[in-house]
Structures are given as C-alpha cells and as structure tokens.
Amino acid sequence: MPDLQKMFGQVKQMQEQLQQKLEKLTVEASAGGGMVTVKMNGQKQLLEVRIDPEILNDREMLQDLVAAAVNEAARKVDAAMQAELGQLAGGLALGKFPGLF
C-alpha cells in the first residue's frame, strides 16, 4: 500500500497548495451592465460592493442586480478553483480511483 500512501500525501499537498492559491484569489463580477459590481475572495467572502447611484431609486432591481453579481462572482471562484485543481492534479494518477474527484 505504499503507493496509496504516497498518493494520499500528494493529495494533501495539493489541497494545501489549492488553499494557498484560493486565499490570494480575488474575482470581480458585475450585473446590469456594470450598475452593480462586487469583489469576492477565494473563500467566497464578499469584499466590496459598488452600486451606480442611478439604480438606488429602484430597490427591487437593485436587489436583483446585487444577487446576480454575487452569484456570478461565486461561479468565477468555483471556475478558478476547478482550473487550479485540474492543474495541480495533472501529475497524479487519480484515474485509478474513480469518484475521488
């Protein structure tokens, strides 16, 4: 079983590398043609919200645009994580273990 132990060691190292990269990641997303823009970090914490003053009078639209921008930012974090995971996993023989990732 040393090969399995080695693989799990590589997976642990890969998880640590992924966590480090996600800690540094910042994404930006907007909705409504830029009327609402948000920044989010790799842990999906909202860092910043910018709102065009023109939209402030329409509360319902503002709520929808904030939700859309936040959801898009979360999708960008997920996509970045998947891309990074793919790069990190490239050297591992994970195909031998279906369902692992």
Q: Which CATH superfamily is domain 25-90 in?
A: Nucleoid-associated protein YbaB-like domain (3.30.1310.10)
Q: How far apart are CA 72 and CA 27, in angstroms?
A: 10
Q: What is the pLDDT confidence band of residue 45, given thresholds at 50, 70 and 90? A: very high
Residue in 46, 21, 45, 57 with CA at minimum distance from that of residue 37: 46
| Tens-digit pLDDT profile for residues 63-79 | 999 999 999 999 999 99
Q: Specify the pTM.
A: 0.73
Spans of all domains in the chain: 25-90
Percent of the chain's residues with pLDDT above 70: 85
Looking at residue 71, its pLDDT comes to 98
